[in-house]
């Protein structure tokens, strides 16, 4: 009777020590890893090219160029087909959207320092230079002074 | 005897910490952090655009202006005035970035103060190629004492259209 009781009690208490160890290590690892946060949104259809650049992204206006669409801050502005087959070096639709964003930022600004407008282009690795050039020209014409290309950081090889 | 038993039971209880609350916290925290974790780090390549309306800065006459032209059939490295320095044909696996890096390092050794380069591309060159070439122009991966170190080459890159150049027949 006594022995049976003791056995059932042992079966009840699962040994959680190793699981606790793993969880504790995992939690700290993930906490440290996620501390820098994600500034740029990601999209499944956009596969960024890899680069050795180490510059950190900043909070900017994001223009995303997927193989099918051009998006500004997550909203589809125009399609790639339309942009490619259009004559002229800029896209009026994208330019209008960019100017709207710029004006909204200027209206919401406080203080004397002028807004230094920046844009980040997240382009799929397969898009042609022709398309990129049109988008970049549009960004410049819309009055943005700084432009960045978002890339995936290449894992460091060797030392 | 009875006294000892009681004492042992007391000791048993004191070693057994109640970790249920802690476990609950961990079970919630681990999936949450796993979902929000970023495993692919996104970085940026910065370009400085000239102000659209503003007047261009008076360009100083440089004695050497490096131009890298990416065409569908290879990469051409040259001086804007002096002409072609070398043409790097494509290999079976695509553009020969190793050769490009090597050549640019030699050019950097000859002009150590040079910071800027112009990158010219044909219309249908992919964005990936652009970024790869930019990488090779910006920094070089140099093996120093067993470790890979990156050396700065020409970090100020301007991007432009490739002139509709003569199609160079494969050498």
CATH code of the domain in which B145 resides: 3.30.420
Task: Please tell me which residue of chain A has the smallest CA distance to B48.
Answer: A146
Contact A51 B135 (CB under 8 A): yes
- Using a CB-CB cut-off of 8 Å, the residues of chain A touching B36 are 34, 38
Classify domain A50-153 at the CATH topology level.
Answer: Nucleotidyltransferase; domain 5 (3.30.420)
Is B54 part of any domain? no
Q: Is the pLDDT of residue B28 over 60?
A: yes
Q: Residue B48 domain-assigned?
A: no
How many angstroms separate the CA atoms of A128 and A141, rounded?
Answer: 20
Structure tokens at B99: 């050769």
**What's the mean pLDDT in B71-80?**
84
Q: Where are the alpha helices (DSSP H) in B1-144?
A: 2-15, 20-36, 97-110, 127-138
pTM assigned to the model: 0.71
pLDDT of residue B11: 54
Q: Which residues pair with A71 in a beta bridge?
A: A64, A76
Residues of chain A in contact with residue B34, where contact means CB-CB under 8 angstroms, are 30
- Per the CB < 8 Å rule, is A125 touching B146? no
A42 touches chain B (CB under 8 A): yes
> CB–CB of A49 and B132 under 8 A?
yes
More confidently predicted of A112 and A149: A149
Q: Is 50 exceeded by the pLDDT of residue B84? A: yes
> pLDDT (tens digit, 9 = 90+) per residue, B111-125?
888 888 888 888 888
Chain A residues closer than 8 Å to B15 by CB: none
| Contact across the interface for A55 and B22, Cβ inside 8 Å | no
**Statement: residue B86 has pLDDT above 80:** yes
Residue B37 lies inside a defined structural domain of this protein: no
> Residue B130 sits in which domain range?
66-161
More confident residue, B84 or A34: B84
pLDDT surpassing 50 at residue B130: yes
Q: Considering chain A, what percentage of its residues have pLDDT values greater than 70?
A: 79
A34: contact with B, CB 8 A cutoff: yes
Number of structural domains found in chain B: 1
B57 touches chain A (CB under 8 A): no
B79: DSSP letter: E
Beta bridge partners of B150: B141
| Greatest mean pLDDT among A114-118, B59-63, B87-91 | B87-91
Contact across the interface for A123 and B148, Cβ inside 8 Å: no
**ipTM > 0.85, yes or no:** no
Instruction: Grade residue B139 by pLDDT with cuts at 50, 70 and 90.
Output: confident
């Amino acid at each position: 009777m006594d022995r049976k009781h003791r056995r059932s009690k042992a079966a009840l208490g699962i040994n959680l020590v190793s699981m606790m160890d793993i969880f504790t290590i995992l939690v700290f690892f993930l906490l440290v890893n996620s501390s820098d946060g994600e500034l740029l949104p990601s999209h499944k259809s956009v596969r960024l090219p890899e680069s050795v650049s180490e510059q950190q992204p900043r909070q900017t206006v994001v223009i995303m160029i997927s193989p099918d669409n051009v998006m500004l801050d997550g909203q589809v502005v125009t399609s790639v087909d339309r942009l490619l087959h259009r004559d002229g070096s800029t896209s009026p639709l994208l330019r209008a959207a960019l100017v709207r964003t710029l004006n909204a930022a200027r209206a919401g600004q406080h203080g004397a320092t002028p807004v230094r407008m920046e844009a980040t282009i997240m382009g799929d690795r397969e898009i042609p230079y022709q398309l990129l050039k049109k988008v970049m020209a549009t960004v410049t014409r819309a009055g943005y002074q700084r432009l960045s290309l978002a890339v995936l950081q290449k894992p460091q090889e060797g030392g | 005897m009875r006294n000892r038993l009681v004492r042992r039971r007391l000791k048993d209880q004191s070693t057994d910490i109640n970790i249920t609350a802690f476990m609950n916290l961990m079970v919630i925290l681990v999936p949450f952090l796993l979902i929000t974790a970023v495993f692919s780090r996104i970085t940026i390549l910065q370009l400085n655009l000239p102000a659209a309306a503003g007047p261009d800065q008076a360009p100083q006459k440089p004695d050497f202006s490096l131009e890298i032209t990416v065409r569908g059939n290879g990469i051409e490295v040259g001086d804007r005035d002096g002409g072609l320095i070398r043409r790097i044909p494509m290999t079976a696996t695509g553009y020969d970035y190793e050769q490009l890096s090597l050549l640019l390092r030699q050019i950097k050794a000859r002009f150590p103060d040079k910071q800027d380069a112009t990158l010219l591309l044909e219309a249908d060159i992919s964005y990936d190629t652009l970024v790869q070439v930019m990488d090779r122009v910006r920094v070089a991966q140099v093996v120093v004492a067993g470790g890979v170190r990156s050396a700065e080459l020409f970090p100020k890159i301007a991007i432009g259209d490739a002139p509709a150049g003569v199609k160079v027949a494969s050498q």
